[in-house]
Structure 1
Amino acid sequence: MWESVNTPRISNQRAVIDRRKLAAAVAEAVSGKDAQKARPQVLELLRGALQAGREELGRRLAEKPSAGHEATHGYCFLIDQLIRVLHDHVVHDVYPNANPSTGEKLALIAVGGYGRGEMAPHSDVDIAFITPIKTPAWCEQVIEALLYFLWDLGLHVGHSSRSLDEMVRMARGDLTIRTALLEGRYLWGDQDLYKDASRRFWSEVVPGSEAQFVAEKLEERNNRHKRMGDSRYVVEPNVKDGKGGLRDLQTLYWIGKYNHRVTSAAELVDVGLFTQKEYRTFRRAENFLLAVRCHLHTITGRGEDRLTFDLQREVARRMNFADRPGKNAVERFMQFYFLQARNVGNLTGVFLSHLEEEMAERKRKRGLFSRRARNVTRLKGYEVADGRISAPEDDWFQNDPIRLIEIFTLAEQHGLEIHPETMRMARRDAELIKGPVRRDPRANALFLDLLCGRKDPETVLRWLNEAGVFGRFMPDFGKVNAQMQFDMYHHYTVDEHTIRAVGLLAQIERGELTQDHPMATQVIQKIAHRRVLYVATLLHDIAKGRGGDHSVLGAEVAMKLCPRLGLNEDETELVSWLVRYHLLMSATAFKRDLSDPKTIDDFVAEVQTLERLRLLSLLTIVDIRAVGPGIWNSWKRQLLGELYELAEERMRLGKATHRRAQRVAAKKERVAELLGDKASIITDLEDRFDDAYWIAEPEDIIARNQVHYAAAKAVEDKLSIYAEYYPARGATLVTVIGDDHPGLFFRIAGAIHLAGGNIIDARIHTTRVGKAVDNFLVQNPLGQPFREESQIERLQSAIKDALAGKIELVPQLAKRPLARPRADNFRVRPQVFFDNDASERFTVIEVNATDRPALLNRLARALFEAQLIINSAHITQYGERAVDTFYVTDLFGHKLHKKERRQKVEEALLEAAGNAVEDSEKAA
């Protein structure tokens, strides 16, 4: 605060608001009248000026959509002039005081963002009213009148009213008040009083509290980051409060101002906290983020700071981002956003580390051991002190650019941080990495050592990326730097996702994720190609955003890049294969029937070796886990584990037909163990269940089914519905046993959706005596199981009523709102794929469509009306995209061989997917 700084100048101010003209109009309105009677007319004049000013500023923003500073200064100027006119009207016309006492003085101070001169269209108007002594009656009247005018104008006003002594006392004890006053700017009123307040703030509040202020602001920042997801790469960032957002830039300015009393961000260069280049980066990032925030406010008509999916496309359009091959406009806009957020993070790291050094130096000078030098050791020419590695000279990297890789490798190997001044040098000199350095065997060997590091490669790779060295050394990685994917499935940018995947791999190898990934922890100890796994993890998404299949394109990149990194021919081919097929295992596990022998045959035929299976399983796990929180769950863990075990068994034992009988016999033994004294049920029901059922279901579900079926049989129950929490897959198991009849599946699916459930897997069986035994795994829309008794009862009642014809499913489902309304911002073009080779007995139909509450019910009904029998269904969600896979036959148990037949089924399914969308839109 506290310099008499005017609001930054804007061009053609009178086109925004002409204060003199407005003041004259107000004076004319009250001329010869009682001020209270003239209030409606005065308010109308002010409201008109505000509206006209906003329209003019909106027009300017549309003409210069990236001019964030200009836009925010303009809105600040508009509010300044309105308040000044208002103040003069109130003190001259409403509450005139011809002979004020010494205590009847009032200073208006703009604080917070308003004080800084940065206001978005719907930012709060923060004002501090300062009086010499405890607020006199006249001052109270003036303040109250001003506030009522501002509220009637529809402005959101944050205000405080304090005497000078109260201001000092409260600022000493409250960080928020101190921060707000730090941004203080003279707005209107008594200037001498404002100067007294400024003097007392700097002489009585600040001295001696600098270290405390820094510590509190950093703690406040860390807490804010945790609330916002603790990553600057979340795909729906908060422009103001998110990591890498405006608040982080403001924190730097606050700390610099508090410690060095700078009056502008430019002066941070003068005190050594920024270089001139870093200050320009600061201003560019701030300008862009302010512009984005202004657009958000303008589009929504409120103080909205979240850059949500529904707003990203419109902001991108307004800021003139256009489609390019491989990337649409919104992805290019968000990539630029994340690059700015990364710049903010870089600035924050350098700034705070410098400040820490500065404060530590002060302590050393004041301390008893001030003359004692720091303990500095040498590591391959680098200096190491206080757990930090640093370059010994300013031209260290210029003399040998390979050191730009070497220092990060040493940091990882020895568990060191990199000194902030050295990070600054690395960022400055990253442009020295060119072709000769990229091709240098020593540089590539160092990079490979870093990537495969055994301490913390994730953190150090992130430093390498933030220094700009990563993208320079590996230009293919630079292309996916800060690149987002415009969907609801991926939570992070491609580079952040990749680095997190490498980190997860290292954690699994160190044995830190045994509870979450027991299979992976065992498997990773058996692999023979460790560095192949790490390189494949690095490259698995390297070709995203290029147009075309990123797996195929990425495999081509791997063939060129791996030899450069020092991998031999066999290793290169293995990396390329892993990148090409890195989605194979998840697609097989989640979208295919693992009880069908052909599924395992086809998977093993592609994988071929046990080493490939091990590597692919590990890559698949970290790829899924690194997508974002909540994506990995016990259901996916069990399916991948089941596929791994079946494939491993097939590779060891080969495709022997007698294994089927052995597997059934072995499973019956395990089920008998689970049933204990009820094991006789298996023999009692021997004539009901065929081998396909025993192979398809896990033994614990079979045990439940057997008890359930026996109980229903004993009481001759025609319909028996059972539901319970099933922790093995993090879902609720719903079993329906009853007389089999056409349409049973789609009715059950509709009832489960109507009860608020999402089906994640379904297996449909018919016993030898015509009874249906259908098992469904169900979760709520947030991916959690139903556990409470009331929720279980609701599921069971809905299914019972639906099968009894008491519920009209179609209209009821159409009325049900979408659980995730953000999906309305995405459209997945429905597609239908047929595969007659994936199974010996069934035609596999895969439907891709926008995820909707009624989708599965609609698709199942379409298959029923097409006179197809569903044997099993596998449901997978990828954010807004649903992939529903059905194993079907015709009524005679045959595959769909005729093209005409498949075409009619495809048309029915496409219509069903389209109708599901239309129903949801009508309900909305």
Structure 2
Amino acid sequence: MTASDRARRTNDADALCLAAYEKAELPEIGAALVAVGGYGRGELAPYSDLDVVLVHAADLDPGEGAAEVWYPLWDAGVRLDHAVRTEQQMLEAAADDVKVATGLLDARHLAGDPSLTLRLRTTMLAAWRRDARSRLPELHEIVRQRHGLVGEVAHESVPDIKEAAGGLRDATVLRALVATWLVDVPHVALERARQELLDLRDHVHEISGRATDRVGPEVWSELAGRIGVEDAAAAQVALRETGRRIAHIHRLTWRRVDGVLARPVSVKGTRRPDLQPVARGIALSSGEVVLDGRVAPADDPLLLLRAAAEAAEREVALSPATASRLVRESPPVPEPWPAEARDLLVRLLASGRGLLGVWETLEETGAVDRVLPEWQRIRLLPHASAIHRFTVDRHVVETCIEASALIRTVSRPDVLMVAALLHDIGKGELTEHSVAGEPIARRVAARMGFDAAAVDHIGTLVRWHLLLSTVATTRDPDDPATTAQITARITTPEAMSLLLALTEADSRAASAKAWSSWRAGLVKRLAAHVVRTLESGQAPTGAVRDPVDVPEDVRRGATSIAVLDADDGVRVRVIAPDRVGLLADVAAMLALQRTSVRGARAWTQNDVAVSEWDVTDTAIDPAVLRQRFDSIVSGRIDPGERLRPAGSARDGAALAPTVAMRSDASTRATVLEVRAADRPGVLHLVCAALAELGVTVASAHVDTVGPQAVDVFYVQEQSAGPLADHRAAAAAHAVRAALTPL
């Protein structure tokens, strides 16, 4: 697929439109058939619609020809988006709707009166330039809303190459911005990227056999063969690079537009650029960081880092021309780095939201490779986990942005920021990425001139950056064995505070689900236990859970069901006398309510069982829950019949559940770990299967990670104590059978 293919499709469509116009016997004067949108630009993909408008003068009635012109096109199998408008209606629609206005900038004559088309184009373009200052803020807001809904071509798991940031729609917007004469763009780079994206869309249409702008996982392998790259991963990189390049130009251009709109209309005449010095060799000009000419790039290897840090901290653009020149002319930073170089890097990484645009410029100009050549390992690498919003490289940048808000909570902000930068540097390797990443991170930290203690901190943080969140959500944070699992690897309170900050930043950067109030509470609770243990120098000997006030009616045998407010939903708390099967009944109550459980934990307090369930249904009624619970306990409702998994175990529609016993995870109980597709009923089926065997649940810890439920149960015999090996095997078998479709 090439531009010549699009030109051929456009010429064929033009011939059809001309023939249809002539067959309809429409007038040669006062009416015209006009192509708009992608057809107007001559960029038809294999399954594109034809966007066509029949325009006529106000005093001319096109008669029956206004309807008849479309029939030959329909008969030819053309997908048509058509309209009939007077010239004045077109201009009024453009004045009312900025999207219509930008679309008419691409109007192209097909048939009829060419002077009418020319007048329409000329009038539209003049109005667009005249009203640009008042219309561009509205256009920018539309663009922002679209990006918020669709995401980015470079980072979405299923990118939309038309509507997403860096897609074809943004390239069209850039053409409209240039048409205002207020700003310019790097035309060669933009046009090359735009043509590449058009080629890729053509291939996607051909592979899919339909009009689609979304690139699903089934497309990548065939796309790789069509564009001549090695495999599906290389095809993703090729498409995402193109999208990122357009997105970078787009963001930079809008920054320049905002700068122009913020300044009063200039008087006639030229004036020298206003340079405001901000650091050695660096100045601010028209909202961009540039060189001030007082220091030659060849004389200062730190100019690049200094310019980037200043731009990010001020939340302004780093001039791409400046970055490119510094890449060409500046010497590399001496190794190991001097202290000033490290400080500048940390300033850049800790700059907050200003980092994103500057880092994009550093990537597009090749400057990142000068500072961190290891970045190529994760550049545009897709995440395997569904919980992540972004590709690995963008996730790392977002982690740095999140970590920048936490630097006052740690004693070594520099260590935190560099660990955030390097925490996923091992992704893409066959081995566990934290294991692969640790030696890389240590080498990078040493090259950057960190002392041995800091290098060790950074290496440890990279190696164990998943430890705290994994253990907190899959083990009982109040079990001494859980604390010991952390202190065996994290040995000082300082390291623990750094790991907590990195865990929070990493989770927040992944997605909102990865740092819900529930997960955050578990992680912070465990971290507090660990810090107390490390500060005291003594291992905990018993549970450290804060007691819950038990209502008086529960002491008399009743069950308390309360609905409490939580940060991102509501929390259901159930307190009742402990008994075998209680947790199964509570889980069934919520499953039959069809409310989504994001997280849960349960424990015993003397002879009372307490469970807390974070759910998404904010309108949940405790009276309804009480009614369901009573019906389950009395036997009026059999939840097993309603919650049994449907389908066949052999249908291959979903991954089989996994059930494992972790005998070494606790000294007071046997730990049962269940991973299954997240759906109502899983918790009830597990707890009911255990109750059938007479096994008690001392505590439970439920979490949802993307589409997967990760549930951990600390189970004991009724007489207390861990299960014997044969009993543990029987429990695992019973749970697996309960979760497997019949």
Common fold, TM-score beyond 0.5? yes
In structure 2, the CA distance between the partners of 1:116 and 1:804, relative to structure 1 (3 Å rule), is: farther
In structure 2, the CA distance between the partners of 1:645 and 1:558, relative to structure 1 (3 Å rule), is: same
The amino acid across from 1:803 in the alignment is V
* Contact kept in structure 1, 2:672 and 2:713, CA below 8 Å: yes
In structure 2, the CA distance between the partners of 1:913 and 1:69, relative to structure 1 (3 Å rule), is: farther
* Contact kept in structure 2, 1:635 and 1:730, CA below 8 Å: no
In the alignment, which of 870, 889, 904 is matched to residue 697 of structure 2? 870
**What is the distance in 1 between the residues matched to 2:307 and 2:578?**
71
Following superposition, the deviation at residue 499 of structure 1 comes to: 1.7
**What is the distance in 2 between the residues matched to 1:356 and 1:69?**
33
Percent of pairs with identical residues: 24
In structure 2, the CA distance between the partners of 1:120 and 1:562, relative to structure 1 (3 Å rule), is: same
Following superposition, the deviation at residue 836 of structure 1 comes to: 2.0
Matched, 1:254 2:176: yes
| 1:185 counterpart residue number | 108
| 1:276 counterpart residue number | 188
| 2:618 counterpart residue number | 787
* Contact kept in structure 1, 2:282 and 2:289, CA below 8 Å: yes
| 2:155 counterpart residue number | 233
Q: SS of the counterpart of 2:40? A: helix
Matched, 1:488 2:411: no
In structure 2, the CA distance between the partners of 1:394 and 1:291, relative to structure 1 (3 Å rule), is: farther
1:698-847 to structure 2, matched below 5 A, reads: 698-699=546-547, 702-703=548-549, 705-710=550-555, 713=556, 717=558, 720=559, 722-727=561-566, 730-735=569-574, 737=576, 740-741=579-580, 743-759=581-597, 760-765=599-604, 768=607, 773-780=609-616, 786-788=617-619, 791-813=621-643, 830-847=657-674
* Structure 1 unpaired stretches of 5+: 1-66, 92-96, 261-270, 323-327, 510-520, 661-691, 781-785, 818-823, 920-924
**What is the distance in 2 between the residues matched to 1:812 and 1:122?**
46
The amino acid across from 1:765 in the alignment is T
1:325-364 to structure 2, matched below 5 A, reads: 332-352=234-254, 363-364=265-266
Matched, 1:318 2:213: no
In structure 2, the CA distance between the partners of 1:634 and 1:359, relative to structure 1 (3 Å rule), is: closer
In the alignment, which of 321, 326, 329 is matched to residue 424 of structure 1? 321
Matched, 1:506 2:404: yes
Matched, 1:405 2:309: no
**What is the distance in 1 between the residues matched to 2:734 and 2:264?**
76
In structure 2, the CA distance between the partners of 1:708 and 1:532, relative to structure 1 (3 Å rule), is: farther
Aligned length: 732
In structure 2, the CA distance between the partners of 1:861 and 1:321, relative to structure 1 (3 Å rule), is: farther
**What is the distance in 1 between the residues matched to 2:295 and 2:191?**
22
Q: SS of the counterpart of 1:467? A: helix
The amino acid across from 2:666 in the alignment is S
Following superposition, the deviation at residue 877 of structure 1 comes to: 1.7
The amino acid across from 2:452 in the alignment is E
* Contact kept in structure 1, 2:190 and 2:246, CA below 8 Å: no
**What is the distance in 2 between the residues matched to 1:273 and 1:861?**
65
In structure 2, the CA distance between the partners of 1:426 and 1:884, relative to structure 1 (3 Å rule), is: same
Matched, 1:558 2:441: yes
**What is the distance in 2 between the residues matched to 1:378 and 1:341?**
33
In the alignment, which of 581, 588, 594 is matched to residue 464 of structure 2? 581
Q: What are the Cα deviations for residues 264-306 of structure 1, in whole angstroms up to 9, with x where unaligned?
A: xxxxxxx9732535542343244335544x368x36x5x5544
Q: SS of the counterpart of 1:484? A: coil
| 1:217 counterpart residue number | 139
Following superposition, the deviation at residue 808 of structure 1 comes to: 4.0
Following superposition, the deviation at residue 572 of structure 1 comes to: 0.9
**What is the distance in 1 between the residues matched to 2:2 and 2:388?**
29
Q: SS of the counterpart of 1:127? A: strand
In structure 2, the CA distance between the partners of 1:723 and 1:156, relative to structure 1 (3 Å rule), is: farther
| 2:507 counterpart residue number | 624
| 1:63 counterpart residue number | none
More helix by share: 1
Q: What are the Cα deviations for residues 10-41 of structure 1, in whole angstroms up to 9, with x where unaligned?
A: xxxxxxxxxxxxxxxxxxxxxxxxxxxxxxxx
* Contact kept in structure 2, 1:107 and 1:190, CA below 8 Å: yes
* Contact kept in structure 2, 1:239 and 1:289, CA below 8 Å: yes
* Contact kept in structure 1, 2:672 and 2:732, CA below 8 Å: no
Following superposition, the deviation at residue 755 of structure 1 comes to: 1.1
Q: What are the Cα deviations for residues 206-259 of structure 1, in whole angstroms up to 9, with x where unaligned?
A: 553344454543343233323445896344443322211211111112222454
**What is the distance in 1 between the residues matched to 2:168 and 2:423?**
33
1:469-548 to structure 2, matched below 5 A, reads: 469-509=367-407, 523-524=409-410, 527=411, 529-548=412-431
Following superposition, the deviation at residue 885 of structure 1 comes to: 0.9
**What is the distance in 2 between the residues matched to 1:394 and 1:141?**
72
Q: SS of the counterpart of 2:488? A: helix
Matched, 1:167 2:90: yes
Following superposition, the deviation at residue 860 of structure 1 comes to: 3.1
1:53-72 to structure 2, matched below 5 A, reads: 67=1, 69=3
| 1:879 counterpart residue number | 706
* Contact kept in structure 2, 1:235 and 1:484, CA below 8 Å: yes
* Contact kept in structure 1, 2:311 and 2:354, CA below 8 Å: no
Matched, 1:446 2:358: no
Q: What are the Cα deviations for residues 319-376 of structure 1, in whole angstroms up to 9, with x where unaligned?
A: 1379xxxxx9665544443322211122224545667788999943527xx6586354
1:35-50 to structure 2, matched below 5 A, reads: none
Following superposition, the deviation at residue 575 of structure 1 comes to: 1.2
Q: Which stretch has the larger CA shift, 496-505 or 759-768? A: 759-768
Q: SS of the counterpart of 2:219? A: helix
In structure 2, the CA distance between the partners of 1:140 and 1:454, relative to structure 1 (3 Å rule), is: same
CA RMSD of aligned residues (A): 4.0
Q: What are the Cα deviations for residues 693-727 of structure 1, in whole angstroms up to 9, with x where unaligned?
A: xx54x44xx22x334514xx2xx65xx35131242
Q: Which stretch has the larger CA shift, 234-243 or 836-845? A: 234-243
**What is the distance in 2 between the residues matched to 1:155 and 1:865?**
65
* Contact kept in structure 1, 2:45 and 2:201, CA below 8 Å: no
Following superposition, the deviation at residue 565 of structure 1 comes to: 0.7
Q: SS of the counterpart of 2:426? A: coil
The amino acid across from 1:408 in the alignment is A
**What is the distance in 2 between the residues matched to 1:344 and 1:425?**
19
Following superposition, the deviation at residue 159 of structure 1 comes to: 3.4
In structure 2, the CA distance between the partners of 1:912 and 1:71, relative to structure 1 (3 Å rule), is: farther
In the alignment, which of 32, 39, 42 is matched to residue 114 of structure 1? 39
**What is the distance in 1 between the residues matched to 2:591 and 2:397?**
37
**What is the distance in 2 between the residues matched to 1:461 and 1:561?**
22
| 2:493 counterpart residue number | 610
Following superposition, the deviation at residue 584 of structure 1 comes to: 1.5
| 1:128 counterpart residue number | 53
Following superposition, the deviation at residue 549 of structure 1 comes to: 0.9
Matched, 1:464 2:309: no
* Contact kept in structure 2, 1:182 and 1:258, CA below 8 Å: no
Max Rg structure: 1
* Contact kept in structure 1, 2:95 and 2:101, CA below 8 Å: yes
The amino acid across from 1:887 in the alignment is Y
TM (normalized to structure 1)?
Answer: 0.70
Following superposition, the deviation at residue 624 of structure 1 comes to: 1.1
